[in-house]
């Protein structure tokens, strides 16, 4: 038995209209979807050409679709896969348990909120990296990797104290790389920065999302207070080699 193959974005959205898939389908690279048994596997390519997979739906059926993709050579060891929580994907190295959150409601602006500035990426790169190195060393975005459309920040006595990146696609705002220098944590800077960037991106796109590690309860509570109430639980990582991965089978 073979899964249904879809290359039309509208057909893919008809199967799963979640904000997570909407964001994936905004990528400029061609996408191919494989549907079977209540799950959907969408394959795309990173800017450097490396294949990557996004699974949605039932974790067991999603694992089976992933096994199919590996048998067909569509995904291989070392490729990135992002699936539903609990998927038996056979990861190698660090496994990322995270939640994709989104909002369509702008958080209110506090009258005493600090000024949020637009940063010039090239000239502020060293300052941004310094904050990320201390507060979010595992950040998936950096000022020199070309992923961000722009950066925002808050300065305290002239020094950069908090940063956030605009990683949006047309029609969907994305906030990432949110970090507050350890010397300035606990003062509400992260909340003020996230709220301001969210308002800016909502005004442009109408919907804004971000990711948070599942064990970061403090950040998750903050984002919920700012209106990020929609959520999809995800598990991500790089696929293991064929002799160590968990195998599945397409149910007949």
**Using one digit for the tens of pLDDT, what is the confidence trace for 191-243?**
999 999 999 999 999 999 999 999 999 999 999 999 999 999 999 999 998 64
Quote the CA–CA distance of 79 and 61 in Å, as a whole number: 20
Give me the mean pLDDT over the 183-190 stretch.
96
- Residue 47 pLDDT > 80: no
103, two tokens: 């909002």
Name residues whose C-beta falls within 8 Å of residue 112's C-beta, 6 or more positions apart in sequence: none
**Residues constituting the chain:** 252
Q: What is the pLDDT of residue 151?
A: 97
| Mean pLDDT across 71-94 | 94
Band of pLDDT at residue 245, cut at 50, 70 and 90: very low
- The residues near 202 (Cβ < 8 Å, ≥ 6 apart) are 103, 104, 105, 106, 173, 208
Read off the pLDDT of residues 167-180 as tens digits, 9 standing for 90 and up: 999 999 999 999 99
Residue with tokens 């992933």: 66
123-157 burial, b if ≥16 CB within 10 A, otherwise e? ebeebbeebbeebbeebebbbeeebbebbbbbeee
Are 239 and 67 in contact by the 8 Å Cβ rule? The answer is no
Q: Provide the pLDDT for residue 247.
A: 36
Contact call for residues 207 and 227 (beta carbons, < 8 A): no
Classify domain 105-206 at the CATH topology level: Aminopeptidase (3.40.630)
Q: Do the beta carbons of residue 213 and residue 85 sit within 8 Å?
A: no
Residues in CB range of 243: below 8 A, 6 or more apart: none
Q: Give me the residue spans of the domains in the chain.
A: 4-96, 105-206
pLDDT at 104 over 70: yes
- Please give the structure tokens belonging to residue 75: 């995904």
CA quadruple 186, 191, 196, 198: dihedral, nearest 10: 150
């Amino acid at each position: 038995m073979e899964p249904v193959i879809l290359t039309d974005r509208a057909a893919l959205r008809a199967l799963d209209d979640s904000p997570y898939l909407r964001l994936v389908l905004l990528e400029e690279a061609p996408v191919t979807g494989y549907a079977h048994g209540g799950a959907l596997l969408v394959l795309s390519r990173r800017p450097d050409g490396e294949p990557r997979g996004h699974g949605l739906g039932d974790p067991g059926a999603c694992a089976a679709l992933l096994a199919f993709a590996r048998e067909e050579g569509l995904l291989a060891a070392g490729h990135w896969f992002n699936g539903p929580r609990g998927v038996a994907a056979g990861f190698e190295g660090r496994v990322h348990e995270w939640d994709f959150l989104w909002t369509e409601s702008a958080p209110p602006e506090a009258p005493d909120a600090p000024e949020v500035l637009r940063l010039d990426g090239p000239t502020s790169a060293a300052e941004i990296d310094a904050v990320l190195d201390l507060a979010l060393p595992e950040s998936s975005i950096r000022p020199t990797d070309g992923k961000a459309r722009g950066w925002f920040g808050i300065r305290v006595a002239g020094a950069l104290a908090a940063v956030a990146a605009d990683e949006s696609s047309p029609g969907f705002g994305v906030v990432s790389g949110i970090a507050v220098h350890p010397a300035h944590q606990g003062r509400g800077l992260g909340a003020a920065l996230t709220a301001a960037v969210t308002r800016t991106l909502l005004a442009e796109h109408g919907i804004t999302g971000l990711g948070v590690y599942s064990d970061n309860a403090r950040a998750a509570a903050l984002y919920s207070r700012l209106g990020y109430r929609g959520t999809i639980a995800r598990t991500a990582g790089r696929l293991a080699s064929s002799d160590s991965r968990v195998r599945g089978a397409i149910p007949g």
